Structures are given as C-alpha cells and as structure tokens.
Amino acid sequence: MKIYLKLLITLCITGALVSCSPGKVYQFKKEVNEPLYREMNQTDTVSIAQMDWQEFFSDADLKNLIQSGLQNNLDLKMGIQRIEIAHSMLKQSKAAFLPDVRGGGGFKQSKMSYPQGLGNSKDTALYDIYANASWEIDIWGKLASNKRAFLYRLMQSESVQRAVQTQIVAQIADYYYQLLTLDKQQVILEKTIENMALDVKTMNRLKESNTVTGAAVVQSEANYYDAQADLPRIKREIREVENAINVLLGQAAQPIIRGSLDHQKSHYNLNVGVPSQLLANRPDVHAMELEVASYFEEINVAQRAFYPSLTITASGGFSSFELKDWFSSTGFFANIAGGLVQPIFNKRLNKTRLEIARANYRGKVYDFQKALITAGQEVSDALYSYESAAEQEQKRMVQIDKLSLAVDYTKKLLVYHSSTNYTDVLTSEQAYLGAQIQLTNDQLLKWRSVIKLYRSLGGGVR
C-alpha cells in the first residue's frame, strides 16, 4: 500500500511539473508583403496553379505520357521510400513518451566446496524472473519538441515529393513540345529538300537553254545537299528527346506517341495570382518552411537539455531457491524509484548544441527567404518570356510571308530577267528556310514559357 501511495505522489508531482513546462511553437508564414512579381498586377487571386494538370494540358497524348510518368517515374518511387523513412522516424519519436520495459529470467545452479558450504547445503539453485521499467517524464516538453521536429520533417518529405511531381509534369511537357517542334522542323526541311530538288532540275534546263551558267547549277546542287545534311541532325535530336522522355517514364527506349505542333491550343489567360499563394501552391517553398520549423524545434530541444530530467524506474519479479515457491508471495520482490538529474558541467556540450541549433535555424530562415525571392523571379521571368515569344511569333509570321514572296520573285526574275543570278535565289531560299525554322523555335519558346510559368506557380500537384 505504501508503494502505491508513493507512486501516486510521484505522478502528481510529475503532472504539476508538466503543466508548468515552457514551450514555443513555430508560427508559419501566412502572408507575403514583398512585391515578388515584377511589374505585375498582384491583386488577382486567380492562379493557373489551381488548375489540374489534366485540365491545363489539352493534348491527349501528352496527358497519357504524364499519367504514365507519375505512376512509373523512378525519382517518385525513391521519394516514396524517403517518406516511409520519415514515417518511421516520427513513430520512433512518439514512442519516446512510453516507458522502456525489459524482462528476463534465469536459473542458477551452484556447487560449493566443503569448507565454503560448511554448515549449509553444498548445492543451491536460484530461480529468477523479473521485469525492469524506465520512464523519462517529459516535464519540459523536450520529447514533444522532438516529436514536432520529426513531424515537420515528414511533412517536408511529402512536400518534396509533390515538388518532384510538379517537376516531372513540367519536364515531360517540356520534352514533348521539343519533340513536336523537331517533328515540325523535319517536315519543313523535307519539304524544302523536295523544292530544292526541283530547283536543281530547273537549273539544268535553264543551263541547256543558256539562261544560266554551270555555276548556278553547282550552287543549286550544293544548296540541296546542304539541306540534306541537316536532316540527320534533326532525326538524331528527335531520338535523343524520345529517350529522355522514356527515362522520365521509367521505361526502356522506345518511340513516343505524339500529336502535332499545329494542333496545339494556346493558353491566353495566364493568371499568376498573388505572391501569398506561392506559400500554399509551391511545394518546394512549403517544404523549405517546414524545414525551418523543424530546426526551430531543434532549438527547443537544445534549450531543454539545460533543465533537469525526471526519470522513474521500477522493477519487480519473483526469485526463489525452490521451484515450488517461485511464484509465491515469499518470492515476490518489487521496487520503484524516481530521480531528477541536473546537468552542471558537461564540457560545454549543451551550450554548443544550442549555438549550433540557433545557427542552423537562422541559415534555414535565409534559405526560405531566398526560395521565396527565387520563386517570384521564376514567375516574372516565365511570364515575360511568354510575352516576348508571342511577340516574336507574330513578327516572324509576317517575315515568312515576305520571304515567301521574295523567293517567288527572285525565281521568276532569274528566268525572265538577266540581271538576276542564282545567288539571289539562294539567299532568299536560305532566309526563308531559316525563318520557318525560327518560327517553330519561337512557338517552342512560348510553350516552354507557359510550362515554366505553370510549374513556377506550383502547378502540377493536383
């Protein structure tokens, strides 16, 4: 009865200490007052990041590729394992609140020599079975802070996983539009080669009629083979981009099913929302703040190392020289003890640990601030890149119309006017081909800017 009374008193004192334990909880940032977006309207709360990637991308083949990538990408699978590790660490931190209980048992047989056992039995046997328990009471909240730190790390791992997902979605889309652009360039080049083959035949007929010289024929042939020499490069780049997509899909190299660049629908309402939405929509920014929170809790843990720790230990069991008396009341034993241990001088370990924790925390705060600024820069760059690419595309189309007329005019002048030579035709054809190729690059830049803007705003998670 006295044992239970002492135990009750100990638990009451412990409860009183726990209720008085100091504690700080990290306050997450909710607003961004800095103008992260350059020269933009930051009052519109609508953001394209809130669109599901299946809604944002309209190409059916692209959506199939993204779906396959999200299911089979190896980086995402590795991320799942990192989340499992974080889950296990959190479970371990929760178990720290429980007592450490161990049990054991044994049998000991002793045989003493005649002088040692004089007056006693020379043969003795001892039967033991027991259990020990040790319980550290979290009177200052050290274990609670440690648990929160591991919880934040788990949440950080999950946010990092979502960040990888947004990156996978963006990379697959980016490679896909590179592939469509190369397909379009191949079509343009093959059509140009067909036209140049006709030019060679035309030059030969004109030479036979003494309209042009042999130099014009040779120049037309050189122009034809120059275009043909560029075709293997485009085919090689197509194969390389296909292989890059296959890596993202977690599969061996194989052809990629795809649509056409001419059938893609452009996005015109590229709303970026307000900077505060980056905190909620960008998983990498959120992961950075969760890391800040975990290091904040590390400071709490380091501070509480200066306080005394309360540990309760207890043991009990049965011990007897006779097997028949093993579990009797005479063989029962038990004890309980509680103690406070206050660190006084431990070679500056606690102070060093606290200084390191504070320095790590400040460093992570700076990393978080940098992540916010970088996110704002990425949004600004992507939107301006889209606007400039759209302007380039419009002007390039006008240029192509003019160059197409120039090619027709110079060819007719070559036939009907002696003042024009094949060099003029060659120059206009090369300029026309270059402008057509550059138009596809302008369109690719526009699409890549859209994809980059979507990712930089946090799109691709849903």
336-351 confidence digits (pLDDT tens): 888 888 888 888 888 9
Would you place residue 368 in the very low, low, confident or very high pLDDT band (cuts 50, 70, 90)?
very high
Measured in degrees and rounded to the nearest 5, phi and psi for residue 159 equal -70, -40
Q: Does residue 267 belong to any structural domain of this protein?
A: yes
Instruction: Compute the distance between CA of residue 394 and CA of residue 374 in angstroms, rounded to an integer.
Output: 30
User: What percent of the chain clears pLDDT 90, i.e. is strictly above it?
Assistant: 31
Task: Tally Cβ neighbours within 10 Å of residue 362.
Answer: 12
Q: How far is CA 188 from CA 185, 307, 382, in A?
A: 5, 76, 28
Per the CB < 8 A criterion, the answer to whether 292 and 364 are in contact is yes
Specify the pTM. Answer: 0.82
Q: Does residue 155 belong to any structural domain of this protein?
A: yes
Residue 227 has pLDDT above 80, yes or no: yes
Q: Give me the torsion for CA of 56, 58, 59, 61, rounded to 10°.
A: 70
Instruction: Compute the distance between CA of residue 337 and CA of residue 41 in angstroms, rounded to an integer.
Output: 67
Mean pLDDT for the stretch of residues 354-365: 94
Which tokens belong to 291?
């890391």
Per the CB < 8 A criterion, the answer to whether 48 and 272 are in contact is yes
Q: 217: domain CATH number?
A: 1.20.1600.10
Residue appearing with tokens 């996983």: 161
Mean pLDDT for the stretch of residues 284-310: 91
Least confident of 18-27, 231-240, 271-280: 18-27
Domain with 75 in it: 26-97+140-307+348-456
The count of domains in the chain is: 1
Apex CA 160: angle with CA 159 and CA 162, to 5°?
65
Which pairing describes strands 309-320 and 100-111: parallel, antiparallel, or unpaired? unpaired
Model pLDDT for residues 5-26, shown as the tens digit of each residue:
554 454 455 444 444 455 578 8
Q: Does residue 296 belong to any structural domain of this protein?
A: yes
Per the CB < 8 A criterion, the answer to whether 175 and 248 are in contact is yes
Instruction: Compute the distance between CA of residue 188 and CA of residue 179 in angstroms, rounded to an integer.
Output: 14
**DSSP letters spanning 304-328:** HTTS-EEEEEEEEEEEESSGGGTTS
Q: Does residue 276 belong to any structural domain of this protein?
A: yes
Q: How far is CA 221 from CA 159, 195, 350, in A?
A: 59, 12, 82
Distance of CA 44 to the CA centre of its chain: 27
Per the CB < 8 A criterion, the answer to whether 256 and 245 are in contact is yes
Largest interatomic CA distance in the chain = 141
Instruction: Compute the distance between CA of residue 203 and CA of residue 214 in angstroms, rounded to an integer.
Output: 9
Measured in degrees and rounded to the nearest 5, phi and psi for residue 132 equal -120, 145
* Length in residues, the chain: 462
Q: Does residue 5 belong to any structural domain of this protein?
A: no
Residue 45 has pLDDT above 70, yes or no: no
Instruction: Compute the distance between CA of residue 137 and CA of residue 121 in angstroms, rounded to an integer.
Output: 46
Model pLDDT for residues 47-68, shown as the tens digit of each residue:
787 888 998 898 999 999 999 9
What amino acid is encoded at 264 in this protein? Q
Measured in degrees and rounded to the nearest 5, phi and psi for residue 254 equal -165, 165
Residue 184 has pLDDT above 70, yes or no: yes
Would you place residue 126 in the very low, low, confident or very high pLDDT band (cuts 50, 70, 90)?
confident
Whole-number mean pLDDT of the chain?
83
Mean pLDDT for the stretch of residues 124-143: 83
Position 255 scores a pLDDT of 93
Measured in degrees and rounded to the nearest 5, phi and psi for residue 311 equal -125, 135
Position 41 scores a pLDDT of 57
Residue 3 has pLDDT above 60, yes or no: no
Q: How far is CA 139 from CA 7, 8, 14, 23, in A?
A: 17, 16, 7, 11
3-state class percentages of the chain: helix first, strand second, coil last, to nearest 5 = 65, 10, 25
For the ranges 11-20, 25-34, 232-241, 420-429, the maximum mean pLDDT occurs at 232-241
Q: Between 269 and 154, whose confidence is greater?
A: 154
Q: Please write down the HEC assignment for all residues of 120-151.
A: CCCEEEEEEEEEEEEEEECCCCHHHHHHHHHH
Model pLDDT for residues 169-178, shown as the tens digit of each residue:
999 999 999 9
Q: Does residue 327 belong to any structural domain of this protein?
A: no
Q: Does residue 122 belong to any structural domain of this protein?
A: no
Could you say which DSSP state residue 347 is in? T
Nearest to 249 by CA among 50, 61, 447, 82: 61
Task: Tally Cβ neighbours within 10 Å of residue 43.
Answer: 7
Q: Does residue 312 belong to any structural domain of this protein?
A: no
Q: Between 137 and 368, whose confidence is greater?
A: 368
Per the CB < 8 A criterion, the answer to whether 448 and 383 are in contact is no
Residue 229 has pLDDT above 80, yes or no: yes
Mean pLDDT for the stretch of residues 446-461: 88
